[in-house]
Structure 1
């Protein structure tokens, strides 16, 4: 049985450890992240204004969060400790490497999905057609649209910036040693199941669009109305579970997945998506609008109902999560051999 110390590798980045107080952690993680995301948001806003495409802020969402992870995990310690980038990367503990890899894989896949869809469409996302008609939209858009999302991104980034920046020195609680391995497996399972749900949701809806103009209601879309958002929430939750299992957890980092969930549910996720769908379908596609109304009565928006335990697609995702656990375990043993 591995100990929490072995899992967390408390020696990682010894010179990079920072004060464990909540105020100290926020000063050294949240403030730099706010600066990073605000700067990137200004660049995205400028490009969006020039091209008249608000959706460029969506390109920034995954790429900015990946940049945040690499800055906190590798770039900042490299400069602060005056060591090569490669050394900063190799100094990461296995859980930190797993965390960095997870954020990178999630963000890269999402960026490709958003960017490729945008390029194929050749024009702005229809979700933003309405807001662009508002008087003086572009003059206030940085402060009303782009900057608020930068703040959300900075808080979401706490899910990994705290474990990267403080490591074991910032940990205030750890699981019993007997459960550390189980919790790490749970984290890996949540990540792979969530990522798998996102990939399947995107692939299935693209296939549906090629077949007919009906609402996508099969595959993982038969579990909830917005499986891609649920998958995203599972991915971000897995980061907090991994940090706790590895002895590099501070409660502040929980703000990351909580902020991500809040954004997906109440700001720019399923709430915004369905409001746009309802308005568009009602005026342009009454048949699809009727399907949406019917689907609302049958399926939950975000969290599955209890009856989805009998849905074969639910078990397919469980199997994907299990496969991820097996692969991670084998890779960890091989690299440590």
Structure 2
């Protein structure tokens, strides 16, 4: 079972570019072919396509966003094609793996994402084909804009998704789906198991620096999700093709429990991979927040209206919070532009 939220939607612009109707990003339709990562980075500056010259390599999240996990291969060849000189297997992004500059986040044709050595590609002496597909448009911030609702749930302001703060215990995939749908956390009854893209949105690549399972801590916001200490969690997305007996995982830690025969090699944080559905992994649950969690908490002075008085409190509290500052609306320890955006986004009378 999968929950299709914001199904992939693309427009072929008939000029060598494709627009993602969900994110608004414009992509190169036919990738630039196999090359080293250094050449891929340099190539963006010389690309002129569709009348535009502001092309760049995508972030890991952007590269993952065009995958369609309802098909295998996961890129729709109607809109995304390989260079005529060979079949693409992987696509570079612009980010290296934490402090390990020898590895680069890369998506693969099957729909996964993980850090790969720069030397794996043919042009660097390897045996795989790592290619460049360029994108243009404003890159999203690497950070996450969360709000702690104070009721066992966390809202991601950027995605509009509400998460259970404490994951459920390990269980098989079918049981995980049933568990999430049966939750009543914070009185909501529309909880579900997140699809693979939703679950991957929790990954914080700035925390993916560990190289051993013994030292790895979960690559997500550990302040807001302190109980999320497991290495991997189920998504609701089944692996397309074959007998549909596997499902996608997101590995926030370093997962050493999966035999190589059952899925791609492990050893890094932030991987999107898969496992047989009979295996047991813990469960995050998600729902679509009907309104931003800050609608009433952003009424900082208690007058039932988010207005100039609340804006003044934010501006007068600007900087490092003292731990109790009411203007620190997202509870991240600092009053900054994120708090300002939350107040402005909730402007007007409280519901």
Structure richer in strand, relative to its length: 2
**Given the two structures, how large is their TM-score scaled by the length of structure 2?**
0.23
Structure richer in helix, relative to its length: 1
Kindly indicate whether structure 1 or structure 2 has the higher relative contact order, using CA contacts under 8 Å at least 6 residues apart: 1
**Given the two structures, how large is their TM-score scaled by the length of structure 1?**
0.24
